[in-house]
Amino acid sequence: MTHSSRSRLTRRSVLKGGIGLALATTALTAIGLPVPARAAGKKVIIGAFADGGLTPFKQKIIPLAKDAGFDIEFLEDEYGVTLEKWFADAKNSAGQYDLYLLDDPWVPQFGAANVLEDLGAAGVDGGDKDWIGSMIDMGYWPPQKGPRVKGFETTTPTLICVPFVGDLQTLTYRNDVYTSGAPKTWDEVIAKGKEGVAAGKIKYPVVFRGVSGNPIVTSWYPVFLSFGGSFFDDKWNPVFNSAQGKASAEFFVGTMKQNAPSGVVEFDSDQEGAAILGGEAGAIIQYSGNALKADDPTQTKVAGKLDFGVVPKQTSAIAQMGIFIAGIPKSAPNKANSVEFLKWYVSADIQAKLSEAGSIPVKRSAFGIAKPGNRLIPVALQQLDAGALPRPRTPDWAKVEELLGIELNKALQAGSGGGAALDNAAKQVKDYLTTVGYY
Partner 1 sequence: MAKGGTQIRKYRLQGAGLDLALPYLMLAPGLLIVLGVLVYPLWDGLRASTKVYRYGSVVADAGMQNYIKLWSDPQFLNSLWVTVKFVALSVTFETILGFALALFCLREFRGIRLLRTILIIPMVITPVVVAIVFRLIYASDAGMLTAISVWMGGGQVQILGSPVKAFIGLVILDVWEWTPLMFLILLAGLQSLPHEPFEAARVDGAGSWRVFADLTFPMMRPVLAIAIVLRTIDAFGTFDQVFVLTRGGPGEATRLVSIYGYDTAFKFQQTGYAAALFVTIGLVVLALAFSAVRLLRRVDAS
Query: Contact residues for partner 1 (CB under 8 A)?
Result: 83-84, 87, 91, 109, 112-115, 210-213, 261-267, 271, 274-275, 395-396, 398-399, 402, 406, 409-410, 413, 435-436
Tell how many helices (H) and how many strands (E) occur in the chain: 18, 13
Give the C-alpha separation, 248 to 297, whole Å: 35
CB 403 to partner 1: min, Å:
8
Instruction: Between 332 and 408, name the residue whose CB sits nearer to partner 1.
Output: 408
CB 103 to partner 1: min, Å:
12
CB 353 to partner 1: min, Å:
35
CB 304 to partner 1: min, Å:
24
CB 355 to partner 1: min, Å:
33
Instruction: Between 205 and 309, name the residue whose CB sits nearer to partner 1.
Output: 205
Instruction: Between 298 and 435, name the residue whose CB sits nearer to partner 1.
Output: 435
Instruction: Between 84 and 128, name the residue whose CB sits nearer to partner 1.
Output: 84
Instruction: Between 65 and 197, name the residue whose CB sits nearer to partner 1.
Output: 197
Instruction: Between 53 and 111, name the residue whose CB sits nearer to partner 1.
Output: 111
Instruction: Between 134 and 424, name the residue whose CB sits nearer to partner 1.
Output: 424
Residue type, 310: V
What sign results for the dihedral spanned by CA atoms 99, 105, 106, 110? positive
DSSP 3-state percent helix, strand, coil across the chain (nearest 5): 50, 15, 35
Give the C-alpha separation, 87 to 85, whole Å: 6
Q: In 3D, which of 89, 85, 96 has the Cα closest to residue 45?
A: 96
Instruction: Between 114 and 316, name the residue whose CB sits nearer to partner 1.
Output: 114
Q: Is 155 helix (H, G, I), strand (E, B) or coil?
A: coil
CB 439 to partner 1: min, Å:
15
* 306-309 sheet: strands from edge to edge: 204-206, 281-286, 170-174, 306-309
CB 213 to partner 1: min, Å:
7
CB 329 to partner 1: min, Å:
13
Instruction: Between 13 and 93, name the residue whose CB sits nearer to partner 1.
Output: 93
Instruction: Between 69 and 278, name the residue whose CB sits nearer to partner 1.
Output: 278
Residue type, 285: I
Any idea how long the chain is? 439
Phi, psi for residue 139 in degrees, rounded to 5: -85, -5
Determine contact, residues 404/117, Cβ cutoff 8 Å: no
Residue type, 1: M
Q: What letter would DSSP give residue 292? A: G
Q: In 3D, which of 112, 55, 95 has the Cα closest to residue 398?
A: 112
Q: Please state, in angstroms and as integers, the Cα–Cα distance from residue 104 to each residue in 137, 149, 318, 325, following that order.
A: 11, 17, 18, 6
CA-derived radius of gyration, the chain: 25
CB 237 to partner 1: min, Å:
20
197-218 exposure pattern, b = at least 16 Cβ within 10 A, e = fewer: beeebbbbbbbbbbbbbbbbbb
CB 215 to partner 1: min, Å:
9
